[in-house]
A = this chain, B = another copy of it.
Amino acid sequence: MDLIKNKASSTDGAREKRPAHEQVYNTLRSQIMYGELVPGQPVTIQGLTDSLGVGMTPVREAIRRLISDGALVFQGNRRVSVPLLTDGDVEQMIYSRIKIESELSRRATANVTPQDIDHLEQIDQRLDRTISDGDVSGYLRLNHRFHETLYGHANAPILNDLAERLWLRFGPSLRVVCGRFGTQSLPDRHKDIISALRNQDADLAAKATAQDIEQGMELMADALVNA
């Protein structure tokens, strides 16, 4: 069953196998998603070639991909920057996220094993710690990981893809909200989601997901209006 090709050994052999443009993409994606880049901040090709130590071709490809993702925007004259959200954007995102991610939760409910649920709970416990510690970066990462892991069980790559796209768009702005309000006030309906999963109650899982989304996004909308 297992091929002998030996592409990557189990420890850390898989590091340099990925092409550079993919690595650049993942690096930038993380930086954008987890708020290391501020909305409105310009992104230059040459700056990235210098700071990342790769040629410009991989950087160009990664940037194009991120523009297509909506994670970066092409500002008219050859300028690229991190997007600034309008309140209209946020309102559309609330609608889309609720429709798509609730459905992902619903579908995941039928597929998750008890071990999967335990894993989710473990992520959520670590998430709680980041909240009480005021660890914004940790919060952003683990919150995303929670949803990503949950949705991964839905076996719905197309819906998943749409959801990821939306996360990429509001990531930078979410960071700004945390910087403004701190992590204490952040919503967390994850306990409700987990309990719904345990009870195999797909409708409830969908509902709790919708609430989690709505609360978080409303908070973001408020912060953007006041900004």
Contacts and interface: CB of A to CB of B under 8 A. Distances in A.
Interface of A: 21, 57, 60-62, 64-70, 88-89, 92-93, 95-96, 99-100, 103, 155-159, 161-162, 165-166, 169
A70 B100 CA distance: 17
Given A65-B65, A67-B65, A68-B68, A158 B96 contact: yes
B21 A93 contact: no
A159 B99 contact: no
A70 B161 contact: yes
6 contacts: A60-B61, A64-B64, A65-B67, A66-B68, A96-B100, A158-B169
A104 to B, nearest CB: 10
A105 B96 CA distance: 15
Chief secondary structure at chain A's binding surface: helix
Instruction: Count copies of this chain in the complex.
Output: 2
A169 B62 CA distance: 21
Contact of A96 (B21, B69, B95, B159): B159
Contact of A92 (B21, B60, B159, B165): B159
Nearest to A158: B92
Contacts of A155: 88
Nearest to A154: B92
A165 B165 CA distance: 10
A162 B167 CA distance: 13
Nearest to A67: B65
